[in-house]
Structure 1
């Protein structure tokens, strides 16, 4: 799913939604993606109605920044 978010077309998104059984399942998968760029995070938040704080990649980034700044 990470590759679809990073490089996919809208057809790829529709195929993933059909493959995984609906938007709710895809939304849960997206929440667990370990790394995404800022642009991709903003895109999935807008399209799937998520908040950045719900994304694993965002919370991991914050944890890493806190560790480095400590």
Structure 2
């Protein structure tokens, strides 16, 4: 027997009395009813489940809509991010860590995918302004690939400033 596919839905509330904020989205009907106790959860749930049409009165129109969830992330292997919860990575906010990891551990194809996702100019800017560490071998590969001098890389200039003392 095949498992029944569960479709995520949200509750869309169209407010008729407010011209400015005419639509609210709730993750569940229960959440809406908890926020607006004047509306009874069981009554609305029965109505929406049986009739499969929106509930409507003078104040509101309530309907269930499918949740359109599009994940925007690069097509990179999970193994590159073994120490992170891959499904919870914020691909935009964590761009420095992701670019650094792909450059350091990734294959040429994975470099191309990272560049496709972030854009060549953004990767270049991250190398120039944000990424503070790359191994010497990775720095050499990055300079060759992007046709840059090491002096353009923040990780190189930082390394030059923080050289250890010799005795």
Q: What TM-score do you get using the length of structure 1 for normalisation?
A: 0.82
Q: Which has the larger radius of gyration?
A: 2
Structure 1 segments of 4+ aligned residues over 2 angstroms from their partners = none
Partner of 1:27: 124
Matched, 1:15 2:106: no
Distance 2:140 2:148 in 1: 9
Distance 2:142 2:122 in 1: 14
Matched, 1:5 2:81: no
Distance 2:135 2:107 in 1: 17
- Return the offset for 1:30: 2.0
- Return the offset for 1:68: 3.9
1:2-60 alpha-carbon deviations (Å, 9 max, x no partner): 00011001221111111113x22211122221111111111000000111111111111
Q: What TM-score do you get using the length of structure 2 for normalisation?
A: 0.37
Q: How many residues align?
A: 67
Distance 2:108 2:141 in 1: 12
Distance 2:117 2:106 in 1: 15
| Higher relative contact order (CA closer than 8 Å, sequence separation 6+) | 1
Partner of 1:47: 145
Unaligned 5+ runs, structure 2: 1-98
Q: Which has the higher strand share?
A: 2
Distance 1:63 1:2 in 2: 20
